[in-house]
């Protein structure tokens, strides 16, 4: 169940409780809760349509991903250079 479906179910639930209550203060509280849920749905819906109105071209996304995963050319050159690799000389090793 996504967020909007959940909020819709909560709106219906709050309206049912409000209709059953005889205490005016409690009824108004549930009606305000239903209104709050509806405003959250409206905000989520507005965010969905805003992002859908401004799509990013798929070529731009692919180029960005490729650039993010590519190693810098100087790092590749340094790793291929045997003289650039440093070793840790710990002295003679005992062998059994």
Which three-class secondary structure string do you get for the chain?
A: CCHHHHHHHHHHHHHHHHHHCCCHHHHHHHHHHHHHHHHHHHHHHHHHHHHHHCCCCHHHHHHHHHHHHCCCHHHHHHHHCHHHCCCCCCCCCCCC
Q: Read off the tokens for 71.
A: 């190693």
Domain count, the chain: 1
Closest CA to 17 of 36, 33, 40: 33
Q: Alpha-carbon distance 19 to 25, whole Å?
A: 12
10 within domain boundaries = yes
* Per-residue model confidence as pLDDT tens digits over 43-65: 998 887 765 555 544 555 555 55
25 within domain boundaries = yes
Question: Which residue range is the domain that position 62 belongs to?
Answer: 3-70
48 within domain boundaries = yes
The pLDDT assigned to 47 comes to 82
35 within domain boundaries = yes
46 within domain boundaries = yes
The pLDDT assigned to 35 comes to 95
95 within domain boundaries = no
62 within domain boundaries = yes
The pLDDT assigned to 94 comes to 63
Quick check: pTM over 0.85?
Answer: no
13 within domain boundaries = yes
Of 44-53, 71-80, 87-96, the poorest mean pLDDT is in 71-80
């Amino acid at each position: 169940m996504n967020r909007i479906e959940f909020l819709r179910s909560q709106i219906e639930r709050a309206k049912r409780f409000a209709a059953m209550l005889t205490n005016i203060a409690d009824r108004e509280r549930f009606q305000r809760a239903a209104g709050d849920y509806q405003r959250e749905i409206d905000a989520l819906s507005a965010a969905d349509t805003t992002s859908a109105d401004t799509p990013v071209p798929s070529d731009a996304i692919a180029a960005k991903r490729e650039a993010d995963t590519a190693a810098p050319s100087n790092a590749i050159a340094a790793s291929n250079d045997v003289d650039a690799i440093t070793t840790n000389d710990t002295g003679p090793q005992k062998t059994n």
